[in-house]
Chains A and B, each alone.
Chain A
Amino acid sequence: MARAVTPRRKVINTSLAWLIGLLIFFPILWTILTSFKTEAQAIASPPLFLNFDWTLENYGVVMERSNYARFLWNSILIAGGSTILGLIIAVPAAWSMAFVPSKRTKDILLWMLSTKMLPAVGVLYPIYLLFIKMGLLDSRAGLVIVMMLINLPIIVWMLYTYFREIPVEILEAARMDGASLKEEVLYILTPMAIPGIASTMLLNFILAWNEAFWTLNLTAVNAAPLTAFIASYSSPEGLFFAKLSAASTMAIAPILIMGWFSQKQLVRGLTFGAVK
């Protein structure tokens, strides 16, 4: 017999899910609310929830003081560039691992993933030096490379899992049908893997967009993306919570909207292979 779900249980489960969802969303909501307050209201005690004088003043100040468009453009270039570069490298890698695995394929995959467990600060010094030597400091190209490298293990892993779901017999059928390797990839594999490739792209774009450690440490002005834009408002000389919140809201808005519209694809992508 299937497990019975009583209406009461359903109500409890739903409420609990909403509660957890709100808990996770609360900091973002609070940031957005704070961005519409004055600096005084932002630090008022007890905190004000909705009963304050809504103002767009912070946004005006932020827009006036910084060049939002340049930060945004850098974010798009770095996140987009690292994603595309990552895919170019990861697609063939994942293909060979999924379809012509060797004895060591699993080890290589695990080893790649293990690099994600290394604290980033552990390699900051060597990478910083390399960047200086190669003249990549505060350059978009440098950041694209670093972002690509730190997310590459995840891209390869995700693509590998998708490709593994494609039955090898279908590829063999294509080979029997006279398809060359190029035709097999072009007409059979790619169309079948498109949902997987799309969600990998999406996730990688979001990860690169949100990454702060490397963007803050390796950029100054020219290549600074939106993370640096936010950081520039957490100044030590004063508490400008409302302006910081406005900057944060502006920085996360594009990715939040993109995530909202593509959530179906993302969820499907992340759970792909987990449930057959």
Chain B
Amino acid sequence: MGQIQLKQVTKSFGDVQVIPPLDLTIEDGEFTVFVGPSGCGKSTLLRLIAGLEDISSGHIEIDGKDATNLVPAKRGLAMVFQSYALYPHMSVRKNIAFPLRMAKMDQAEIDRRVDGAAKVLNLADYIDRRPGQLSGGQRQRVAIGRAIVREPAAFLFDEPLSNLDAALRVGMRLEISELHERLKTTMIYVTHDQVEAMTMADKIVVLRAGFIEQVGSPLELYHNPRNEFVAGFIGSPKMNLIKGAEADKHGAATIGIRPEHTDVSMSEGMWQGTVGVAEHLGSDTFIHVHETGLADMVTVRITGDIQAKHGDKIFLTPQLDKLHKFDAQGLRIG
């Protein structure tokens, strides 16, 4: 079991309130991702749940029991840190066994669990090495191993992949998702990378300056962003946000159109512009269009390849049914 409830939780550092009163429920077995730009309070929120920071007011309940004043060790949660935080003077085996040793488990059970985790995470060949002799990916696996052997109520991940190179990150992303499928344990995952959020989460919590901007499934957030901030944050490349006369035509202060919801033509269309940079990925082409009179730059995404180079005239037509409209306060209309 691993339901986590935050009730009117706040956190202040001195006079600065980084988390204003916040309510959030994370259901048992759910993969929840906290996402937001740096400094939005997502890591602080995770540390509050972990018990590594004391909350300033409010309550935290784990499985219906008040955990507000419990020390981290008593909350039954396991955490994977960005820097892995392995014990450098211990072998992989001892690192993974450490939480079990602290739980005063008998040696036979410790060995059984450590060997099991090492097998699952492909660490068996490195079990007697020290962390310093491992690659980044292997270290991250040890950190995950140390977390899973305890069979915690929930896993907390604090930007665990940001120190890995791009290829490894994709691989580890999959591994963590598979781990979740297999264990069905509650996971809370903090990241600033919206691709990680979209691909891994059951539920995304978008944060800005300590406020929850929106909570929902990845596709809910993609299709129905509650406001301009979420619209701009979720999706890659970013949604184009257009203000002024063009927005007025649609009865909104701001309209948003995703790069993939814009049709492109070299001869005719609704909007006209000049190609700035065309990024050819093979499967897709991103074209950054200037001089449209709409915004500084409009980005479009086309499946497959298109012959467009710097300086070419280009015509764009938004798919009107995919248009997002926002009022002057940035909130969604309709």
Q: Which of A170, A172, A178, A180 interacts with B99 by CB under 8 Å?
A: A178
B79 touches A179 (CB 8 A): no
A175 touches B52 (CB 8 A): yes
A185 vs chain B, min Cβ distance (A): 13
A176 touches B102 (CB 8 A): no
Asked if B83 is at the interface of the complex by the 8 Å CB criterion, the answer is: yes
Chain B positions 50 through 81: 1 when the CB is less than 8 Å from some CB of chain A, otherwise 0? 10100000000000000000011100011101
Asked if B126 is at the interface of the complex by the 8 Å CB criterion, the answer is: no
Asked if B251 is at the interface of the complex by the 8 Å CB criterion, the answer is: no
- Bound CA span A180–B89, Å: 19
Name the residue on B nearest A169 (C-beta): B85
A176 with B77, Cβ < 8 A, contacts A167-B85, A192-B89 known:
yes
Name the residue on A nearest B146 (C-beta): A177
A196 vs chain B, min Cβ distance (A): 13
B229 vs chain A, min Cβ distance (A): 30
A179 with B87, Cβ < 8 A, contacts A169-B81, A172-B52, A173-B79 known:
no
- Bound CA span A183–B71, Å: 14
B88 touches A176 (CB 8 A): no
B83 touches A177 (CB 8 A): no
Asked if B245 is at the interface of the complex by the 8 Å CB criterion, the answer is: no
Asked if B211 is at the interface of the complex by the 8 Å CB criterion, the answer is: no
- Bound CA span A159–B320, Å: 66
B81 touches A173 (CB 8 A): yes
Asked if A191 is at the interface of the complex by the 8 Å CB criterion, the answer is: yes
Residues of A contacting B52 in the complex (Cβ-Cβ under 8 angstroms)? 172, 175-176
- Bound CA span A177–B150, Å: 8
A208 vs chain B, min Cβ distance (A): 29
A172 with B73, Cβ < 8 A, contacts A178-B103, A179-B102 known:
no
A170 touches B73 (CB 8 A): no
Asked if A150 is at the interface of the complex by the 8 Å CB criterion, the answer is: no
A175 touches B71 (CB 8 A): yes
B96 vs chain A, min Cβ distance (A): 10
Asked if B98 is at the interface of the complex by the 8 Å CB criterion, the answer is: yes
- Bound CA span A178–B100, Å: 9
A176 touches B72 (CB 8 A): yes
B77 vs chain A, min Cβ distance (A): 7
Q: Which of B85, B88, B89 interacts with A172 by CB under 8 Å?
A: B85
A177 vs chain B, min Cβ distance (A): 4
Residues of B contacting A188 in the complex (Cβ-Cβ under 8 angstroms)? 87
Asked if A174 is at the interface of the complex by the 8 Å CB criterion, the answer is: yes
A175 touches B72 (CB 8 A): yes
A169 touches B83 (CB 8 A): yes
Chain B positions 205 through 220: 1 when the CB is less than 8 Å from some CB of chain A, otherwise 0? 0000000000000000
A191 with B89, Cβ < 8 A, contacts A169-B83, A177-B102 known:
yes
Name the residue on B nearest A183 (C-beta): B102
Q: Which of B50, B73, B89 interacts with A178 by CB under 8 Å?
A: B73
Residues of A contacting B85 in the complex (Cβ-Cβ under 8 angstroms)? 167, 169-170, 172-173
Residues of A contacting B50 in the complex (Cβ-Cβ under 8 angstroms)? 176
Residues of B contacting A177 in the complex (Cβ-Cβ under 8 angstroms)? 73, 78, 98-99, 102, 146, 150
- Bound CA span A192–B102, Å: 18
A192 touches B81 (CB 8 A): no
Chain B positions 96 through 113: 1 when the CB is less than 8 Å from some CB of chain A, otherwise 0? 001100110000000000
Chain A: residues with CB nearer than 8 A to chain B? Answer: 167, 169-170, 172-180, 183, 187-188, 191-192
A-B contact pairs, 6 of them (CB 8 A): A170-B87, A172-B72, A174-B98, A176-B78, A177-B73, A191-B89
Q: Lowest 4 CB-CB distances: which A-B pairs, in order? A: A178-B102, A177-B99, A173-B85, A169-B85
